[in-house]
Amino acid sequence: MNSRLNISLGRLRLQNPIIPASGTYGFGLEFAKLYDINCLGALCIKGTTVQPRYGNPSPRIAETEAGMLNSVGLQNPGVDKVTADILPRLRAVYHQPIVANISGFSIEEYVQLAKQMSDAEQVELIEVNISCPNVHNGGMAFGTDPSAAAEVTAAVKAVSDKPVFVKLSPNVTDITRIAIACEQAGADGLCLINTLLGMRIDLRTRKPVLANKYGGISGSCIFPLALRMVNQVSRVCQIPVIGCGGISTASDVIEMMMAGASAVEIGAANLTDPYVCMNIINELPQLMDKLGIDNLSDIIGITAR
């Protein structure tokens, strides 16, 4: 591997900054049949909940201009199955850092998930998705309220021996307030952005395209928004930021890192080109040569200098 691509996420060292985003790469086993996934910097597994979830009714995926809508609903087999069966099978074929994405519906569920993922020897980093509804607080999402975001961050940190990165929702007025709250509560890093809430209507049926009415927008259409939010957060927080949202090319990776990201997650692009992560990793050295970049770590947050 090319050492020029090496980056650090706190105490975790990655061979390159490329991480498939949760929910777009399954548990990695599917992609391992296509190419050697050990080329990745790290691998973020599908979002995991305490109980198995079968997700939302269909249709739950829809194309839109320069992107897609999804309302999958966190379909997954539950944390017991993931830790006892899936993670050992993934480690047998993948030897780079594994990121566990967890989603709870209460503080107690986040704590249980964090404990089990922290105890899983295969997991190097825990990514806390705070976009799920807080059913103990009138349905308000953890990710839209600074105090709620801080509460779940502190609770997870209290039971986890692994680094904790909090994945932020963009569906807020000021994402920096949420980011600062998470940092002050002990987060080791942040990941942003998750999908934005959107909708499409079928003109013939006059009904929403998605059975759930609304869904998350991802794809290249949200890249400028993600770039702006990553830049804003990296300017006010001292912890590492993983940039996510609309990244599909090596140029996007460079741009996101210049905005302040230490690493990137690639999401929707995996669904249109299953080889996109591998291709970007192969293309980065040539682009770096063209742009006069010696090491990727040199350009992190360069726009703020």
DSSP letter string over the chain?
Answer: --GGG-EEETTEEESSSEEEPTTSSTTSTTGGGTS-GGGSS-EEPPPB-SS-B--PPSP-EEEETTEEEE-----B--HHHIIIIIHHHHHHH--S-EEEEEE-SSHHHHHHHHHHHHH-TTEEEEEEE--SB-TTTTT-BGGG-HHHHHHHHHHHHHH-SS-EEEEPPS-SS-HHHHHHHHHHTT-SEEEE--PEEE--EETTTTEESSTTS-EEEESGGGHHHHHHHHHHHHHH--S-EEEESS--SHHHHHHHHHHT-SEEEE-THHHH-TTHHHHHHHHHHHHHHHHT-S-GGGGTTGGG-
* 158 Cβ contact partners less than 8 Å away, ≥ 6 residues apart: 111
Q: How confident is the model at residue 293 (pLDDT cuts 50, 70, 90)?
A: very high
pLDDT in tens, 182-232: 999 999 999 999 999 999 999 999 999 999 999 999 999 999 999 999 999
User: Annotated catalytic sites, by residue?
Assistant: 132
- Please identify which residue in the block is written with the tokens 């987060």: 187
- pLDDT at residue 137 greater than cutoff 70: no
Using the CB atoms, write b or e for 216-225: b if 16+ within 10 Å: bbbbbbbbee
Backbone angles phi, psi at 252, to 5 degrees: -60, -40
The whole-angstrom separation of Cα 125 and Cα 137 is 28
The whole-angstrom separation of Cα 184 and Cα 153 is 9
Contacts 24+ apart (CB under 8 A), 204-212: 209/59, 209/62, 209/69, 210/59, 210/60, 210/62, 210/69, 210/71, 211/56, 211/57, 211/58, 211/59, 211/60, 211/71, 212/56, 212/57, 212/60, 212/71, 212/73
Any idea which architecture 3-56+73-196+218-304 has in CATH?
Alpha-Beta Barrel (3.20)
pTM, two decimal places: 0.96
Q: How confident is the model at residue 134 (pLDDT cuts 50, 70, 90)?
A: very low
For the chain, which residues make up each domain, given as ranges?
3-56+73-196+218-304
- Cβ atoms 42, 97 nearer than 8 A: yes
Q: How confident is the model at residue 139 (pLDDT cuts 50, 70, 90)?
A: very low
The mean pLDDT of the chain is: 94
pLDDT in tens, 167-182: 999 999 999 999 999 9
* 27 Cβ contact partners less than 8 Å away, ≥ 6 residues apart: 45, 46, 82, 86, 90
- Find the mean pLDDT for residues 281-295: 98
- pLDDT at residue 131 greater than cutoff 80: no
